[in-house]
Amino acid sequence: MKDALVAKIGKREAVVGVVGLGYVGLPLLLEFAKGGFRCVGFDIDPAKPAALVAGRSYIRHIASESVASAFVGADPKRATATTDFSRVRECDAVLICVPTPLTHHREPDLTFIENTARSIAPHMRAGQLVILESTTYPGTTEEVMVPILEAGSGLRAGEGFLAAFSPEREDPNNRDFRTATIPKVVGGMTPDSLDAAVALYGSVICKTVPVSSCRAAEATKLMENIFRSVNIALVNELKLVFGRMGVDIWEVVDAARTKPFGFMPFYPGPGLGGHCIPIDPFYLTWKAKEYGIATRFIELAGEINSAMPDHVIQQAIVALSDRGRAMRGARVLLVGLAYKKNVDDTRESPSLALWRKLLERGARVDYYDPFCPVVPRTREYPELADIRSRTWEEAISGGYDAALVSTAHDSVDHDAIARSCGLTVDTRHACKPGPNVVPA
């Protein structure tokens, strides 16, 4: 089974299916298409397959030209995209790249993985390789995904099909690294599963990093993101301490980073965003309880980072009060909606939390973000869906009592916004110091 699949991969005759065509799945599919594989993309949102087969990208940092080169034309190996999961039977490998959010009780929500497994299982055939890429706790591949696949397909993992886990390491719009140049950690349920997954990824990605099991691969991604969460929490806490002392945390970090060893710079902000860092630590915290272990360090970091939006709002309230203005009734411009600069990705963005908190305190809020012209629908913030960004002219019109810089895109002139407002609360060190600029 493994040898036949590896041979097809080597000849570029294997068909690669990718489930979930978002910020992780679409770049991955494009790399396999560029590498000479025929690809089939699957998504439950019909708008995405429709856009792709028409050659249009719906992700800002992915050019439509890249999409068109993969999906449009007469090449018999051209990619296609669909909502029809029966086409899974065409695929030799199926890569699952679906969200893994948290419930309202901060527990893992594996609904997308479970539903995907149920959707593909009836259409599986012997000899396929199924790889989960979604970030999750150790044990998910073997305890959650595989049993659903076995029950729905009648096949046994390791005998009828191969199963593996390889965590996504996507960093949207990172100009130094893209999917093909980021080493790929791979863990398999069996040695044959590992060999097949390594052969598949090794055909389009610069380096594969085999590990002993799916659990080790699942744990690797959690460790990477928990490392960042803990260090961001540390620098956020230092920002509060140094701020009381009249010391600029940004100056301190820039000075400390000149040390050529033993230090890695992290920067403070208004809270954590993106699909990984605000969520993944809680996956391990939840699973650790099964083993009777309290993850105190991880939970403390989560508490610190989760409290940052409240700190920012309090800073804004005090700054407005110092200028004789109450937050209630104030016109506030929220600058930046994406979770980080230079992307259109709003998943778990602290800007949305700040917006709701401003509204709860009676402010009248607009936002400006050239990367995010319309607020997408989310289950956490349904009241903000479909609101449109102000234009640049409206943003600098001078009609706002305060601006709150939450995300600092490089293309935005934040100093111009600061000049147009009586107060700018700057969480990103984006504005030049001035009497009307308050760091937060």
Structure tokens belonging to residue 314: 């309090």
Instruction: Report pTM.
Output: 0.92
SS3 412: coil
- CA distance to 45, 87, 88, 350, 409, per residue, from 41 (Å): 12, 10, 10, 31, 31
CATH superfamily, domain at 2-212: NAD(P)-binding Rossmann-like Domain (3.40.50.720)
pLDDT tens, residue by residue, 144-187: 999 999 999 999 999 999 999 999 998 887 888 889 999 999 99
Distance CA 368, CA 374 (A): 10
Angle between helices 191-202 and 2-10 (to 10 degrees): 10
Give yes or no on whether 2-212 and 237-439 have one common fold: yes
Distance of CA 128 to the CA centre of its chain: 28
Domain ranges of the chain: 2-212, 237-439
Which residues are annotated as catalytic?
Answer: 276
pLDDT tens, residue by residue, 104-131: 888 899 999 999 999 999 999 999 999 9
Nearest in space to 113 (alpha carbons), one of 102, 124, 97, 130: 97
Nearest in space to 128 (alpha carbons), one of 97, 165, 159, 169: 159
3.40.50.720, 1.10.10.60, 3.40.50.1580, 3.40.50.300: CATH of 237-439: 3.40.50.720
pLDDT tens, residue by residue, 214-249: 999 999 999 999 999 999 999 999 999 999 999 999
- The pLDDT assigned to 378 comes to 87
Handedness of CA 157, 159, 162, 164 (dihedral sign): positive
